[in-house]
Every structure is written in C-alpha cells, then in structure tokens.
C-alpha cells in the first residue's frame, strides 16, 4: 500500500514523498518499507533510531522523529494503528497458494484438513479433525493429536507433541479504545514459532504475535490448560504447569518453572532458573537468576512459608 493511501485512511496530512509500505512493525524492528507507531511513553526512546518509513504519532512527539521518517499525526495513535492493522492482515486461507507439501512416511487422518501452502515434514502423525493453516510448517517426527488447530503462518519444530484441542496461533487479546469507550480490534499479523522437542498438553492456547513471533523455545514442557499471550517468549527447557497464564510480551529465561495457576503481568522479563510455586502472582520483572518465589504479592518462598506459619498462629 502506498504511504499516501495510509495517510488518507488515517485522515492525516501528507506532504512527503510517496513510498510502498509492506506492513506495520515496532519502532525497534521496523524497516524502511514499514510503518510504526508510538502510543506509550516508555517507547519514546526508540523514536530517534527507528528505520520506519513513517510513524503514527501524536503532535507533541512528532519533533523527535528522525528527518528520514514521515510523521502521521493523529489524536489517538493506538486507535489509528488498530484501524490500519486490518489492511495488512493476510487472508485466512488462500486458494492461490500451492497445495500442501507432505513429507515421507507420514500418517495423516482422512478427517484432518491441511490448507494450501502448508508444509508437513517427514514421519509426522496427524490425527482426526486437526487443522493446519495456510503456510504453516510442521517439522519432522511431530505428533499432533485430535482437534488441534495450527493457524496460518505458524511453525512447529521437529520431535514435538501437541495434545488434543490445543490452539496454536489464535489472535492475541488486542484492541484499542477511543474516548467514547468503543473498541477496535488490532489484527494480530505475527505468528507462533515452536522450536524442537516441545510437548504441549491438551486445551492449551498460544496466541500469535501482533508483529514478529510468539516463541516457545526448545525442550519446553507445557501442561494442560495453559494460556500464553501474544509476543511472549518462553526460554529453553521451561516448565509451565496447568492453568498458568502469561500476559502479552512476557519473556521467560531458560529453565523457568511455573506452578499451577501462577501468572504474570505483561511486558515482564523473568531471569533463568526461576521457580514459582502454585498461585504465584508476578507483577514485576525478576532480574536475579536461580531463586524460588511464592504468593501474591510475590516474595521469596522461605519468607512466604514463615508468613503462613505466623498467620496460622494468629488464628489459633
């Protein structure tokens, strides 16, 4: 889409040279043929170095853009980004793509559906009522149990197991709200990448990224009924027990263990080898590796045990 067309959609003044735009991205990752946006003060620091062709921005911040970048000035940049995201959303299925490619020695149920453009590796087992979306990739030796859905563009590595009814690549919970309280969907145009040797339990939801990828790194083990929000990154060999919930853009280091019903707020970073007891509530980033935590508000596990002991004495 031409930049001038984008400006017209967003009802912005446009007095710059016109260029072809291929998508939307973050300030840090945007390329010279992409548009970005800024709606949160914590990302203003990235304005100076962005390579985006244009940035959707409020008038008071426009002066901080580099000279090579065109400002698209709006009253509500987040809402404007949501409006624009629809125009760069790919087709759910695309009949123009080639038929799916299936590797050797695969066992695929006649009740499974594999969309055009998908690629299935060698020695895979795909059972009844599985759906593999357009241009999704499934690695070698992977087993997918009944009624699993892998949305378009998502990637599953080698030697993985995905149990029944799990959903890989559904839309993240993203929307903008205007001054009237109305909500506008933000189209989630990224994907999910699951690396090798990952096992995912039943009824797990892993949301696709807004931009870029939600990443599950190699060796991870995810129990039943876990929710992974958009743009999360789960480090190698991490373990997430039943009913864990990760809000969007949470990053876990390697070998993080989260007990049942523990959860994180969004945009946090968790140090490697951290362990969280069941029902831990994590609201701040964890910077020191190798510690064990419990409770809400979160505290060291030993401190939490002492607190429980004192509370027990108070009610005797």
Burial of 181 (0-12, 13-18, 19+ CB in 10 A): exposed
d(CA 147, CA 245): 22
What DSSP designation does 209 have?
P
The active-site residue, picked from 49, 183, 230, 267, is 230
* Whole-number Å distance between alpha carbons of 106 and 125: 6
User: Cα separation of 144 and 129, whole Å?
Assistant: 10
The rounded distance, in Å, linking the Cα atoms of 164 and 178 is 39
* Four-point Cα dihedral 215, 156, 30, 45, nearest 10: 0
Count CA within 13 A, CB hemisphere, residue 9.
17
Indicate the DSSP class of residue 225. Answer: S
309 φ, ψ (degrees, to nearest 5): -65, -45
Active site residue 183: no
Phi, psi of 313 (to 5 degrees): -70, -35
Task: For residue 1, give both structure tokens.
Answer: 């889409």
What separation in angstroms does the CA of 144 have from each of 77, 129, 159? Answer: 41, 10, 11
Q: What is the DSSP letter of 310?
A: H
**Cα–Cα distance, 284 to 106 (Å, whole number):** 45
- Which positions are annotated as active-site residues? 230
């Amino acid at each position: 889409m031409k930049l001038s067309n984008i400006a017209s959609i967003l009802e912005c003044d446009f007095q710059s040279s016109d260029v072809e735009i291929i998508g939307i991205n973050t300030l840090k990752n945007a390329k010279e043929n992409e548009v970005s946006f800024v709606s949160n003060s914590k990302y203003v620091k990235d304005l100076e170095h962005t390579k985006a062709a244009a940035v959707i921005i409020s008038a008071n911040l426009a002066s901080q853009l580099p000279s090579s970048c065109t400002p698209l000035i709006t009253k509500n940049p987040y809402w404007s980004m949501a409006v624009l995201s629809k125009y760069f959303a790919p087709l759910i299925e695309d009949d123009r793509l080639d038929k799916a490619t299936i590797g050797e020695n695969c066992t695929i149920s006649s009740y499974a559906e594999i969309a055009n453009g998908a690629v299935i590796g060698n020695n895979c087992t795909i059972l009844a009522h599985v759906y593999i979306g357009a241009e999704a990739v499934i690695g070698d030796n992977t087993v997918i149990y009944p009624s699993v859905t892998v949305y378009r563009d998502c990637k599953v590595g080698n030697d993985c197991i995905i149990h029944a009814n799990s959903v890989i690549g559904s839309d993240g919970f993203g929307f903008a709200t205007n001054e009237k309280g109305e909500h506008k969907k933000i189209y989630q145009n990224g994907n999910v990448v699951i690396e090798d040797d990952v096992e995912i339990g039943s009824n797990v939801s892993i949301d696709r990224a807004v931009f870029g990828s939600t990443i599950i790194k190699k060796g991870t083990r995810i129990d039943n009924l876990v929710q992974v929000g958009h743009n999360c990154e789960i480090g190698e060999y991490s373990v997430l027990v039943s009913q864990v919930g990760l809000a969007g853009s949470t990053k876990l280091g390697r070998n993080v263990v989260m007990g049942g019903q523990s959860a994180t707020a969004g945009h946090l970073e968790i140090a490697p080898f951290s362990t969280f007891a069941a029902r831990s509530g994590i609201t701040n980033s964890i910077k020191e590796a190798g510690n064990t935590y419990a409770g809400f508000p979160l505290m060291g596990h030993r401190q939490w045990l002492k607190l429980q002991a004192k509370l027990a004495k108070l009610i005797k």
